[in-house]
Structure 1
Amino acid sequence: MDITLPPRLMPVFAALEQAGARILLVGGAVRDSLLGLPVHDWDLEVSGLSENRLEACLAPFAAHRVGARCAVWVVAGAEIALPQSGGIPDPHLPWSIAARRRDFTVNALAWDWRTGQVLDAVGGLRDLQEKRLRMVRPDTFVEDPLRAFRAARLVGQLNFHLDAASVGICQKLAVALPELPAERLRKEWEALLLRGRNLRRAWDALAQTGSIQAFPALAALQAAPQRPDAHPEGDVWIHTGKVLAEAAKLRQDQPARDIVLMLAALLHDLGKAICTRRDARQIWRAIGHEQILAPATLFLSRYFPGAHLLSQIIPLLRWHGAPHALFHAQAGRKAYARLALQVPDRGLLLDLALADAQGAGHRDVPAITSTREIWQQLGLWETLPDALLRGEDLLDLGISPGPRLGQILRSAYQKQVLESHRDRRVLLKAMRGLFPELNLPGAPSC
């Protein structure tokens, strides 16, 4: 078998081999290469060198060591480690023994760079062929609770099934997931959402392994009913799984963009678990669920912290139903212009609205086409217009810096967009009717 390595790793390989090391490519890189999938993680296991000798070989490549006890280095986008047994590095440990500490059999495959041979000590090749995810050994598998979540993630990423024995162990492990650092869980969520090939299977595997119980707001979706005529697919849990699958079809292999879309798909209906009630006719309704944003904000703040990401996702959650509502209400162009001002990325809003509709079984979604066409006609599709009135203009008019200046600027920009102003003087004249302080004696006309 031949695996094409990243060019950046070749000097590292040459230095290690010159030092007398045996180099094994291990884990996901071997698995994905055998499956014909893109390789995302390059992990190497190096034997035949002492810990000090390996560190000296890697020093010229700006390697940095990770972990206080484990002999693991990160260099050129790859992780390089010595074989270990019981957490203790052993440069002479055979792969057949080292493989026992890995999580799943399909991740316990190794590729010898020198010979091109695939090493399989635990039946990983057979499981790969049968599309089965199976733990290597129960006694070592339980060392890391994160493996319960990873099982669900890999089920969706590989489109495999999880064997029964592994399910039982994962359910016991999942109880400890809330105790793990949020950063470790974030990485698994990110991989699940960005790499998943079968998101519905991954979503159900989160429930199957018990991992979803670590995220109460998401687990609550399993008990949230929906009106059958609008959502024949079932409850909010089933709907969310379908929306995730539809959103995955709209990924563009742009991680910064795609993670916003996928997180919005994951969180878009959290409010339904809180506000769903029967109306006077005993029909389930979730009126106002788009306005219940606290559960999503809490999830993002813990696992995907950062004001920028929050500012992108929360408006999508708040307005994901608006394109459909405006279309069915036959709203005017000003209403569509107002919606355009609510979200940083109009394309992402329409992608989320489309995935939401298709997740409910609607293939033909005229509201999406109509909204896009109206925004294009208004010049609001690709980018919003530059502001005609700027802060320096208001300072020249004698407005002092402070909250009031910001209020006037926001109001001016909204008026500019909603009324399609193109001339600064005309806009300023309209604003003087709203803000008396713009009518100072002798003030320039901008």
Structure 2
Amino acid sequence: MSVEQDRALSRALAERVKGAGGRVYYVGGCVRDALTGTPCKDIDLEVYGVTPAALRGMLEELGAVVEKGASFGVLGLRHSDLDIAMPRTERRTGDRHRDFDVAVDPFMSTREASRRRDFTINAMMQDVLTGEITDHWGGREDLERGVIRCVSADTFPEDALRVFRAAQFAARFDASIDPDTLALCRGIDVRALARERVFDETCKALMKADRPSVFFYRLREMDHLREFFPEVEACAGIEQSPVYHPEGDVFTHTMLVTDQAARLRDRAKHPLWFMLSALLHDLGKCVATTVEADGRITSHGHEVLGLELVETQLRRLTSEAELIRYVLNQTELHMRPNMLAARGSRKARTRAMFDLSVCPEDLILLSKADASGKLDKPYDPAYEQWLNERLSDYRECIARPMVTGQDLIEAGVKPGPDMGRMLKRARQLHFGGMEKKAVLRQVLKENSEFGIRNSEA
């Protein structure tokens, strides 16, 4: 169901609630996003002044009612993305996400109900029918000033995820974090958080912020980067050659690359995976960096030596196998595109790189972000053009019919080492511009001659 349809349902519900003496408000992110002109995909409603039974009856008039968050009293309608709740108080009873004692009170004041919200920018409410905004905590002013401020110092620490949400919103809105809120965040123990929740906030920062680096800088400022991103934090203080990296240490370079990648993510085939590759591509420098006798700083082989660190960091956040495979592949190959472009290498070299890459288009973008993440070292756009031309040639060759193992079997070749050698040779001839039938004749001829030579030997 579209957002427009959900808003129509919201108004239909609000009319029914109004008839019973109550009010319905838009709450949370949809109010914040409306004020910033950001498209809102998810609509949350809070219903005041009617009993839970009465609310359910009104919803049943609009469609099939579904329980969306039973422990928090959240309802919805089938085929709709609306989240519909009543005012409530929450008291934490344990370390798990749902360990809260929830008390629903439909006649609670809007001020008391909004007090449980995390940040002032998320505590605003808007009457569904009149459009009137209720802002008890100064959220509108904080939004305009670019400040992330908690609503209540008493309730804020009850959910440790708010540490990561503070950093995520700071990145997303290019905002500062209120000093008192920052101090609260420093004192919160985040170790019991489920990795899925942390990863979700990380993804929002990587995908929605113009400068995702702010997320990681703020976490580091709070002393909370190390719990879920120790491999990333380890990049701080790892020196780089000032000749190639005048920007500073590996952490600084990584943050610059991540921000550059954010400018390119809309062009990526796999935007989130691409962003994670930008974040993790240089972890190997933590183990590969050495200072030579002449004072030169080198990190030879870091793209391979860092693969174990990259996988460890990723598995701390997710078990998604395809994602992990992609990021490892991007990391291992990230040095090659610009190196080959700078040398004007033969097509065979770029072809070998594209053969190894799970997504050559994204690999080229990563190399661009990497090269752009250096102060006073502008990226040469001719590199990207050269690489894309090579990739276009590669794609055209791949699209043409090629000799397969089945073709060789039908020609009388038995599976084995000879077949593998013949397929490799067939690929070489194919990329040389030869048509499939001619390639098949040539490899069969060469194999026959090879067999004769071997028998004579």
Moved more, 97-106 or 354-363: 354-363
User: 2:95 maps to which residue?
Assistant: none
Asked whether the 8 Å contact 2:14–2:129 carries over to 1, the reply is no
Moved more, 271-280 or 225-234: 271-280
C-alpha change, 1:65 and 1:345, in structure 2 (3 Å) is same
The one-letter amino acid of 2:274's match is L
Determine helix, strand or coil for the equivalent of 2:187. helix
Alignment partner of 1:77 out of 81, 86, 89: 81
Spell out, residue by residue over 1:104-158, the C-alpha distance to the aligned partner (whole angstroms, 9 max, x if none). Answer: 1111111111221111111112212221111111111101111101111100101
The one-letter amino acid of 2:37's match is G
User: 1:258 maps to which residue?
Assistant: 271
Asked whether the 8 Å contact 2:337–2:367 carries over to 1, the reply is yes
**Mapping 1:184-199, distance limit 5 Å:** 184-199=197-212
C-alpha change, 1:10 and 1:431, in structure 2 (3 Å) is farther
The alpha carbon displacement at 1:290 in A equals: 0.9
Determine helix, strand or coil for the equivalent of 1:222. coil
Asked whether the 8 Å contact 1:412–1:427 carries over to 2, the reply is no
Alignment partner of 1:137 out of 137, 152, 174: 152
Structure index of larger Rg = 2
C-alpha change, 1:242 and 1:133, in structure 2 (3 Å) is same
The one-letter amino acid of 1:160's match is A
Determine helix, strand or coil for the equivalent of 1:374. helix
> Please, what is the CA RMSD of the aligned residues?
3.1
Asked whether the 8 Å contact 2:48–2:87 carries over to 1, the reply is yes
**Alignment partners' CA distance in 2, 1:144 and 1:231:** 40
The alpha carbon displacement at 1:358 in A equals: 0.8
The one-letter amino acid of 1:385's match is A
**Alignment partners' CA distance in 1, 2:215 and 2:442:** 57
User: 2:8 maps to which residue?
Assistant: 10
User: Structure 1 residue 163 and structure 2 residue 181: aligned?
Assistant: no
Alignment partner of 1:205 out of 218, 222, 241: 218
Gaps of 5+ in 1: 440-446
Asked whether the 8 Å contact 2:3–2:41 carries over to 1, the reply is no
Q: State TM-score, norm by structure 2.
A: 0.84
**Mapping 1:18-167, distance limit 5 Å:** 18-19=16-17, 20=20, 22-58=23-59, 61=63, 64-75=66-77, 76-86=80-90, 87-167=102-182
Determine helix, strand or coil for the equivalent of 2:210. coil
Identity %: 29
Asked whether the 8 Å contact 2:148–2:177 carries over to 1, the reply is yes
C-alpha change, 1:437 and 1:305, in structure 2 (3 Å) is farther
Q: State TM-score, norm by structure 1.
A: 0.86
**Alignment partners' CA distance in 2, 1:67 and 1:415:** 58
Asked whether the 8 Å contact 2:120–2:138 carries over to 1, the reply is yes
Spell out, residue by residue over 1:146-184, the C-alpha distance to the aligned partner (whole angstroms, 9 max, x if none). Answer: 1101111100101110011111111122x32x4222221
The alpha carbon displacement at 1:430 in A equals: 2.7
Gaps of 5+ in 2: 91-101, 453-457
The alpha carbon displacement at 1:190 in A equals: 1.3
User: 1:443 maps to which residue?
Assistant: none
The one-letter amino acid of 2:23's match is R
